[in-house]
Amino acid sequence: MTWEEAVRWCMGEPSMAALARAAYFDAPVQAALRYEASAEFAAVKALLPAPAGRALDLGAGNGIVSHALAKQGWTVTAVEPDASDLVGAGAIRTVARETSLPITVIEAFGEAIPEEAGAFDLVVARQVLHHAHDLPAFCREMSRLARPGATILTLRDHVISGPGQLEPFLKSHPLHHLYGGENAFTLHQYREALTAAGLVITSEFNSFQSVLNYDPMGEDEIRDKLAAVAGPLRGPVRAGLAVMPFAAITAVAAALDRRPGRLVSFVCRKEAA
């Protein structure tokens, strides 16, 4: 299947309804409006530099990030290689047209983008780095396009602890068997590619450390998932978790999380020349 065909299957399969909603597999404008109102984007807003200027949305998919940034006053260039009207450049053009927002669409891969160097004050790549054909080249291109001092956000990328975790992750992914497009890298590979490109990592959020990664799960769902691990002791453990500060719970969960395909987000700054 193509990515669009896999998404359409997911949207039409009743057992995948929760995944489809969590992944913003909706009609383009509906998806964009839901993402703008999400806890994840509320956390993104707290990381945005001021004032708003030019933003680059890399691997923009159906345009949910482009729309949300444009609503915050950014002039957005969305880069997306897929032409699809549901999950690609066509969807972004629909969002821009129906919302009258300043979003320019470029159909290109992230390793080679036809834009001049240093043109952007903000670069966002949501769920994109783990799809890169050449991760170091992708990060160099992000750095090339960012002006000195710019903010670069890479959000919700899949992490493996080592090569042995890649196959279990791919087998467990609900859509990979349909279109074969998933991948994951180690934390070291992400960090090395970003820093080698001249980017300074100012924050790193692993799995449960930030709503950037665990949205749309909420506090109660995370407490329940942790309690479920305790098996027969689930009741007492759940009672204990109910009175623990949520920040303490997420810190412990993030430290213990070694699942193949867990998520990481980075906040970076482009170094001055």
For residues 251 and 93, give the distance between their C-alpha atoms in angstroms, rounded to a whole number. Answer: 40
Q: Are 102 and 171 found together in one domain?
A: yes
Q: Which amino acid is at 99?
A: T
Q: Is the dihedral of CA 116, 117, 123, 129 positive or negative?
A: positive
- Look at residue 111 in the predicted model and tell me its pLDDT: 86
Helix (H) or strand (E) holding 205, with range, is strand 199-206
Give me the CATH number covering residue 186.
3.40.50.150
Q: Are 235 and 138 found together in one domain?
A: no
Residue 32: C-alpha distances to residues 66, 84, 211 (Å): 9, 16, 18
- The answer on pLDDT for 48 being more than 90 is yes
Geometric angle at alpha carbon 69, from 67 and 71, rounded to 5°: 70
Q: Are 117 and 79 found together in one domain?
A: yes
For residues 39 and 213, give the distance between their C-alpha atoms in angstroms, rounded to a whole number. Answer: 10
Is residue 19 domain-resident? no
Domains in the chain, number: 2
Q: Which residue has the higher pLDDT, 229 or 107?
A: 107
For residues 80 and 57, give the distance between their C-alpha atoms in angstroms, rounded to a whole number. Answer: 9
Q: Are 40 and 165 found together in one domain?
A: yes
- The answer on pLDDT for 273 being more than 80 is no
Q: Are 247 and 160 found together in one domain?
A: no
For 132-165, the pLDDT digits (tens) are 999 999 999 999 999 999 999 999 999 999 999 9
- The answer on pLDDT for 76 being more than 80 is yes
Q: Which amino acid is at 71?
A: K
Is residue 58 domain-resident? yes
* Gyration radius (Cα) of the chain, Å: 19
Helix ranges (H only) for 130-258 are 135-145, 166-172, 176-179, 187-196, 211-214, 219-228, 234-243, 246-256
Rounded to the nearest angstrom, the gap between the alpha carbon of residue 179 and the centroid of all alpha carbons in its chain is 19
Provide the pairing of β-strand 146-159 with 262-270: antiparallel
Helix (H) or strand (E) holding 249, with range, is helix 246-256
**Mean pLDDT, all residues of the chain:** 95
Q: Are 179 and 203 found together in one domain?
A: yes
Is residue 14 domain-resident? no
For 95-140, the pLDDT digits (tens) are 999 999 999 999 998 888 999 999 999 999 999 999 999 999 999 9
CB–CB of 75/53 below 8 Å? yes
Q: How many CB atoms lie within 10 A of CB 172?
A: 11
Q: Are 240 and 266 found together in one domain?
A: no
For 203-218, the pLDDT digits (tens) are 999 999 999 999 999 9
CB–CB of 59/126 below 8 Å? yes
pTM of the model: 0.94
Is residue 6 domain-resident? no
CB–CB of 120/55 below 8 Å? yes
Structural domain for 230, as ranges: 219-253
- Look at residue 255 in the predicted model and tell me its pLDDT: 86
Q: Which residue has the higher pLDDT, 116 or 256?
A: 116
Q: Are 142 and 241 found together in one domain?
A: no
Q: Are 135 and 66 found together in one domain?
A: yes
